[in-house]
Chains A and B, each alone.
Chain A
Amino acid sequence: MTATLDAAVPLTGRRIPGSSVARAMAGNRKALAGLLILVFFVVLAAVPDWIAPGDPAASRYGRSLGASAHHLFGTTGFGQDVAAQVVHGTRPILLIAVLSGVFATLLSVLIGVSAAYLGGLWDDLLSLFTDVILVIPVLPLVVVIAGYFAHRSLTVMIAALVVTGWSYGARQLRAQALSLRGRDFLEAARVRGERRSYIIVVELLPNMTSLIIANFMNVALYSVLTASGLEFIGLGDTSSVDWGTMLYWAQNQAALQTDQYLWAAVPGLCIALLSTSFALLNNAFDEISNPALRPVRRLRG
């Protein structure tokens, strides 16, 4: 008595979930667009000195020059090359986005999944904690944290973003972990005799990768905008070369009122583009992980 497979479920061209994600991404226009933009900025961040050699903060050129062959986006009111500044400003913002994304997501996973899996009093306590942080208005809190530290560095910025950025994801991950908790394969692992830590890390978390990655993208996006915003209002390191700081100085020097549009527009556009790339990737991951959200191919009769 055998249920041989040749008469059974046919081979659906064995798709490995990993490679299917890659293939899904390739087929998803949003993912491709987001990825292209991100790759572009990663290249700028990786080798800024190749692309724009020299110190971008040095006032070497004529002031407030317009766009030309020498200066792709003209110069600032202090005689710095706008394009060079933008290129060199990519690395800090990207570092902020990625590092806050990673740490905030780690915190979200830790707190959210533990709350769901441990249940009971632990869940109540952790959820209460999450909710309190969640309810605190974000921007004022970030301003307070960033403003508190006299020494304004990347670390402080990242810390502020992580502290304010983890709670939303924790709620989402807790919800998803709770819904997965009812699945038999987790109970099966428990009945098998696996330790709780093993079950959470090996059995549960891999089922949540899409949400975790989407969370990362979300925090990255949030970080880009918030960090630039903080720099814009002068709470960043105003002597550093950053997109947000460029905006700060541009505003400080009334760039828009004095027809120096490029000085403000170019870093602004970069902020927008980088955030968009994270948003596109976020959406794309949502669609990839949840087939119900995918754009529907209508059947043409």
Chain B
Amino acid sequence: MTEVLLETTGLTRHFQIGGLLSRRTLHAVDDASLTIGRREIVALAGESGSGKSTVARLLALVYRPTAGEIRFEGRPLSRLRSRRDLLAYRRQVPMVFQDPFSSINPVYRVSHGIMRTLKLHRPELSAAERDAEAERVLTAVGLTPAADVLSRYPFELSGGQRQRIGFAQALACKPKLILADEPVSMLDVSIRIGLLNLMADLRETQDVSFLYITHDLAGARYVADRLVVMYGGHIVEKGPVEQVLAAPRHPYTSLLLSTVPDPRAPLPSVVDTGEPPKVVNPSPGCRFRARCPLAIDRCATETPRLRLLGPGDHAAACHVAGPVEEDS
């Protein structure tokens, strides 16, 4: 079991929506508990509206949790108050964004973001050292010749190259954990592999962990060690990636599996036309029950809790699911 780097307990985030007269609560994330270890790639999978992006933003301190706690290297984030403490955390946990066409400021050269990161988070470096570091991170993400790329403007680079810049910016602070929010979703399918390989390589060469947020399970399987599946703000299943995908316990995980694009595999017959829930003022009960083929009465009244169902901390939140050994 690897050393724990980041741990969330009961992480919750609600948003107040609606006008003065119809105030309602949007439950973006409810009671999410997950851990990320050293040199580990954890995939957080779910549809849009599942809460996965909100989790990333909670970890990036964009939002404060409504309830629950986040601990980084054992210390709770709620204790971080001063700008120096916050900056120190942000240095360890940077983020890579989804849209390569809007995540880099178009009016500056590509070096701008990297230099700012270095100035903010590694002030001890001299100007010459900063230049050297910028070239080092660009080389690490495979963009060479580094000096040439640094002097370019974003519009001169392709989508895949811009995403690599995003990773380079994250690497510039020598982080422990990189939050990658759907970094390949907006890239052509043929380019995604290159970036997934990059993540795996960086984990080895730069000794960094990743939280890889995605809606594509095949990509998650390709690059991640552990998988966390979210639906409607809840974590519905988690565990070692191979095991979860080989023996999914939660019906939603099975549904996601059936939608995975694989040109070589025959098409499964299950097609679901459900919509992800907007979880506003929810009642207790499983949030997946409307789309679930296995729902029973209990699912409508009692919110299922994560139960350990298999080795390696494989857990699922489902009243119907049985332990892994039950499979023949």
Distance A207 CA – B102 CA, assembled complex (angstroms):
12
Task: Point out which of A15, A187, A190, A207 has the most chain B C-beta atoms below 10 A from its C-beta.
Answer: A187
- The 0/1 profile, CB within 8 Å of B marked 1, for residues 4-31 of chain A is 1100110110111100000000000000
Asked whether A3 lies within 8 Å of B160 as measured between CB atoms, the reply is: yes
Distance A3 CA – B194 CA, assembled complex (angstroms):
9
Tell me how far the C-beta of A139 lies from the nearest C-beta in chain B, rounded to whole angstroms. 38
Tell me how far the C-beta of A237 lies from the nearest C-beta in chain B, rounded to whole angstroms. 43
Task: Point out which of B107, B153, B161 has the most chain A C-beta atoms below 10 A from its C-beta.
Answer: B107
Known: A4-B144, A5-B149, A184-B99. A207 touches B94 (CB 8 A): no
Contact pick for B121, options A8, A12, A190, A193, CB 8 Å: A193
Contact pick for A3, options B61, B94, B142, B169, CB 8 Å: B142
Asked whether B156 lies within 8 Å of A12 as measured between CB atoms, the reply is: yes
Asked whether B97 lies within 8 Å of A188 as measured between CB atoms, the reply is: yes
Stretch at the interface among B39-47, B112-120, B273-281: B112-120
Known: A185-B103, A207-B105. A193 touches B144 (CB 8 A): no
Distance A3 CA – B90 CA, assembled complex (angstroms):
29
Within 8 A of A (CB), among B198-237: 198, 201
Q: Which chain A residues lie closer than 8 Å to B156 at the CB level?
A: 9, 11-12, 14
Known: A1-B142, A12-B156. A193 touches B102 (CB 8 A): no
Asked whether A3 lies within 8 Å of B161 as measured between CB atoms, the reply is: yes
Known: A3-B194, A9-B157, A187-B97. A193 touches B90 (CB 8 A): yes
Distance A206 CA – B90 CA, assembled complex (angstroms):
25
Asked if A298 CB lies within 8 Å of chain B CBs, one says: no
Task: Point out which of A16, A185, A206 has the most chain B C-beta atoms below 10 A from its C-beta.
Answer: A185
Distance A11 CA – B151 CA, assembled complex (angstroms):
12
Distance A8 CA – B104 CA, assembled complex (angstroms):
19
- The 0/1 profile, CB within 8 Å of A marked 1, for residues 41-79 of chain B is 000000000000000000011100000000000000000
State the 5 A-B residue pairs at the shortest beta-carbon distance, nearest first: A184-B103, A193-B90, A184-B97, A185-B105, A206-B107
Given contact pairs A9-B156, A185-B103, A191-B94, a sample of 4 additional A-B residue pairs in the complex whose CB atoms are under 8 Å apart: A5-B144, A5-B149, A184-B103, A188-B113
